[in-house]
Amino acid sequence: MTGDEGKTAILHIGLFKTGTTSFQAALADNRRRMRRRGFDFYRGAVRRDTHGELFRAAVRDGLESFGSLAHPDEDKAALREKVRAHIHDFVRRTPAQTLIFSAEALSLLRSEDECRALRALFPDTVTRFRILLVLRDKQEFLASYTRQILRVKGRCPSDDPASALYVGPGTWLTDFDGLIAAYEAVFGPVEVLDYRREGMLPALFDRIGLDLPVDERHYAKNVYDGASGLSALHRQASAGWARLRTRLLPFG
């Protein structure tokens, strides 16, 4: 095998609120260790470690989403070509045979056409795809996702059932069977993992086949689930005040 022949792309597609940020941070911090094991974590063309550009380059026209709200005037054709060229260059340059891409927004792609557009971003030298999907209880997911919508000032749930910000009755966001079917029609079997509130890093690394011991607590990011989330915020605030008092003691 020579050059970049026969490479495998692992696409981690979310869901939202299932530990994606922690997973991305752990991968980003350990790129060098990963390369020694034959893996590489894609450096994005737009944002290095969160690969929402893949979603925006493949998504159906007109979908209201976090991405469309953040980039309302984006030239999709130009973005698609930029991302395609960047991925091709990454695949060509890296010596690794297993390449990891991660974007929870990819869970919003729900049609075969969108999945084919995603596949078209990759060179033919990527001959195998693995799709990783973390699922959680539908009502817990919607509650957590709604909080994520509200975290940005001025952003609120939509009344339009077609929107990715619609969390009302019959929302397509929880049609997990449809999500899996769309990806399987283009990429083959989807590998589903069950969400674990205590952390997903060991399960994700084990599924990938990456022997990379990390401290789960170090990568606990964006954790906010009711009372437990408030407790975490309280602990963080208390720790911050303690550090500040320590710094000020010599001047007291």
Output the domain CATH number for residue 87: 3.40.50.300
Q: Are residues 23 and 126 both part of a single domain?
A: yes
Q: Are residues 238 and 136 both part of a single domain?
A: no
Whether cis (ω within 30° of 0) applies to the bond prior to 15 is yes
Q: Report the C-alpha dihedral over residues 43, 47, 49, 50, rounded to 10 degrees.
A: -130
pTM of the model: 0.85
Residue 1 belongs to some domain of the structure: no
- Residue 149 is which amino acid? I
The per-residue pLDDT string of the chain (252 residues; one tens digit each, 9 = 90 and over) reads 444 469 999 999 999 999 999 999 999 999 999 999 999 999 999 888 899 999 999 999 999 999 999 999 999 999 999 999 999 999 999 999 999 999 999 999 999 999 999 999 999 999 999 999 999 999 999 999 999 999 999 999 999 999 999 999 999 999 999 999 999 999 999 999 999 998 899 999 999 999 888 878 888 765 444 434 433 433 343 343 344 343 444 444
Residue 213 belongs to some domain of the structure: yes
Q: Are residues 37 and 162 both part of a single domain?
A: yes
Structural domain boundaries enclosing 132: 7-221
Q: How many domains does the chain have?
A: 2
